[in-house]
Chain A
Amino acid sequence: MKLPKIIVAILLCALQVTGLTAHADTAQLKPFTSGSYRQLLNEYTDKPLVLMIWSVNCTSCRNKMPIMSELHQRMPGVNLIMLATDDVSASEQVHSILTEHKLKQTDNWIFADANAQRLRHEIDPKWYGEVPRTYFIDKNHQRIGISGSIPDEKIEALIKTILN
């Protein structure tokens, strides 16, 4: 039976969303809309994760990408989610920055709701939108949120904390 391409795509995506397949090798960028944060937590039920929120114009964010990439490779079990707060017109820039920093294979998202304020509020009602904003979330989904650049060794220590 030959399934139409669109159905194959839907099924593949469905599997991907429910976390049943590994992420594909190609760089992917998912639109982060209302409900996406909840969806992320569901996808990573009982798993620790690091959510780094960044923006293309944020030099400090980009400066932290090498260490995030290194830790992602060196510490298996770290589920790293990169979320860009730029609007979707910056998708190509976001894509190329992630690729440049070898962050193609992380779980990558971009804000895709005109009401960015609502997206920020769903993630954290106490977050004003400053970036980088990094959340270290343990398997019970207790989290620590930190604004601004974090020293490399502190990032590693915080990741170890959520892995234990």
Chain B
Amino acid sequence: MLIPRVLLLSCLFCLNWLPIFTTYSWSTEFEKLRPEQKIFTAAAFGPDKKLWRIVPSQQFVSVDYSTDYGKTFSAAVRIHSVDQSIHLWDENPPSIAVDRKGGVYVLYFADDKQSSTSFFSYSSDGTQFSTPTKISSTADSWYHYQTEMLLDTSDQAHFLWHDVRDRAEYKKLGGGDLSLYYNALKMNTPGTPPEDKRVARNTCSCCRTAIDKDKDGNLIILARFVYADNIRDHGLLKISPDKQASESWRVTFDDWQIEGCPTHGPALSIAQDGRYHIAWFTQGEKRSGLYYAFSDDQGKHFSSPMQIGDPEKLPGRADVLALNKEVALVWKVFDGIKTRIESMYSMDSGKQWSPIRILAESGSQSAHPALISDGEQIYLSWNSLDTGYMLVPVKPADIK
């Protein structure tokens, strides 16, 4: 029996091609539906205000730069000549940092012996990158992910990640928590790198952490922890310049009791004057929504939480960045059709805020919003499939 191709096609169309995969080899068909990796860009300014950017594809990551604030970009330089299965997602984005001499540091995730393994690569000038190396010392045997990279003022790169290697310890608990591991590297320093070490326990397994450095050279980490009775609120911890980690202490008290995965990490920025600015999401007993607060005593006490955005629009995925006394907040809302990035701006260290402004919108898949600065202004760095990469100044023109 001969069935005209057009009939066959319309048949397929009517069925929305959806159930076909249930009969045929779904692994091959699903491969075509793998999320686009290219929207998970990351960007950072160099000391010369050149904007460096990671550009992922399904098989490799590249780096390019812009000298006109994102209007045009240079030819991209591929990091690694061997194809990999790049594995990023919105709560697991890559990182890029540029040191005082223009050295470029890149962190990304690719499936290896373990899924979404962290890889690091360095270039002294952005023209040629080192062969990527794995960050975790047990990368081949234990799943690890959501690695954050931070470059300090002495050009030392710090790495912090979620690691399941202590799984046996957590078995007796409800589950859903794990350890944070840490390491630091200094380029062009001879000798073997230091061993990575555990710096925190009972961290919520699915929420990315936030990291910044304080005035005294300590690393400050804000993470969602699992407290008694499965309360998933936030805590801070400090890693001193000699790599000693403090105990963590709780800083949000919303009492979000959930044995499950919020998949919604916090944001942290420490201003030059030492004020800590934090933003976080909760659905706690005491408060629910997206919040902001600041602290003037190294995180011991925080201001009363200020709710961010219109709760009806389900605001989430906030980022915060302080530049001296100016502070920017951005977050994501979705109305069923459009994703929008909204923002507020403060000129007085977070006491008063501008009205909400929409900075960008998309009708397609998008990454979480990120804030970056060239030292003079704060920018939204964001990417979505239909708009492409965007660099948008956050400060309203009429603010004083």
Contacts and interface: CB of A to CB of B under 8 A. Distances in A.
Given A92-B27, A128-B316, 10 more contacts: A9-B23, A10-B20, A28-B22, A55-B263, A62-B175, A89-B34, A117-B365, A125-B336, A130-B263, A149-B260
12 contacts: A31-B30, A57-B205, A58-B261, A61-B261, A88-B35, A91-B26, A114-B36, A115-B365, A115-B366, A128-B316, A130-B262, A149-B259
B264 A130 contact: yes
- Name, among B18, B174, B364, the residue most crowded by chain A CB atoms within 10 Å (CB to CB): B18
A16 B18 CA distance: 12
A74 interface: no
B69 interface: no
A58 B176 contact: yes
A131 B206 CA distance: 10
Given A63-B174, A89-B34, A121-B336, A33 B261 contact: no
Contacts, number: 149
A35 B18 CA distance: 11
Interface string B222-260: 000000001000000000000000000000000001111
B18 A60 contact: no
A125 B314 CA distance: 8
Interface string B166-177: 000000001110
Interface string A30-44: 110101100000000
- Name, among B85, B314, B385, the residue most crowded by chain A CB atoms within 10 Å (CB to CB): B314
A121 to B, nearest CB: 5
B33 interface: yes
Contacts of A112: 30, 33
A16 B205 CA distance: 37
Interface stretch (B8-16, B268-276, B352-360): B8-16
B261 A30 contact: no
B336 A13 contact: no
Interface residues of A, number: 54
B206 A58 contact: yes
Contacts of B15: 10, 13-14, 17
B19 A57 contact: no
A58 B314 contact: no
Interface of A: 1-4, 6-7, 9-10, 12-14, 16-17, 28-31, 33, 35-36, 55, 57-63, 87-92, 110, 112, 114-118, 121-122, 125-126, 128-133, 147-149
Contacts of B111: 89
Nearest to B2: A4
Contacts of B89: 87
Contacts of B365: 114-117
Contact of A131 (B36, B263, B339): B263
B302 interface: no
Given A59-B176, A60-B261, A115 B16 contact: no
Identify the 3 closest CB pairs spanning chains A and B, nearest first. A59-B175, A13-B19, A149-B259
Contacts of B260: 58, 60-61, 130-133, 147-149
Interface in B26-50: 26-27, 30-31, 33-36
Contacts of B176: 58-60
B225 to A, nearest CB: 15
Contacts of A118: 334, 336
Contact of B364 (A31, A114, A149): A114
Interface in B178-206: 205-206
- Name, among A1, A10, A55, the residue most crowded by chain B CB atoms within 10 Å (CB to CB): A10
Given A1-B1, A10-B11, A128-B283, A57 B261 contact: yes
Given A112-B30, A112-B33, A114-B385, A128 B205 contact: no
B336 A88 contact: no
B34 A87 contact: yes
B87 interface: yes
B24 A4 contact: no
- Name, among A14, A29, A115, the residue most crowded by chain B CB atoms within 10 Å (CB to CB): A115
Nearest to B3: A7
Contacts of B314: 125-126, 128
Contacts of A110: 30
B10 to A, nearest CB: 11
B205 A59 contact: yes
Given A4-B3, A60-B261, A131-B263, A9 B24 contact: yes
A130 B26 contact: no
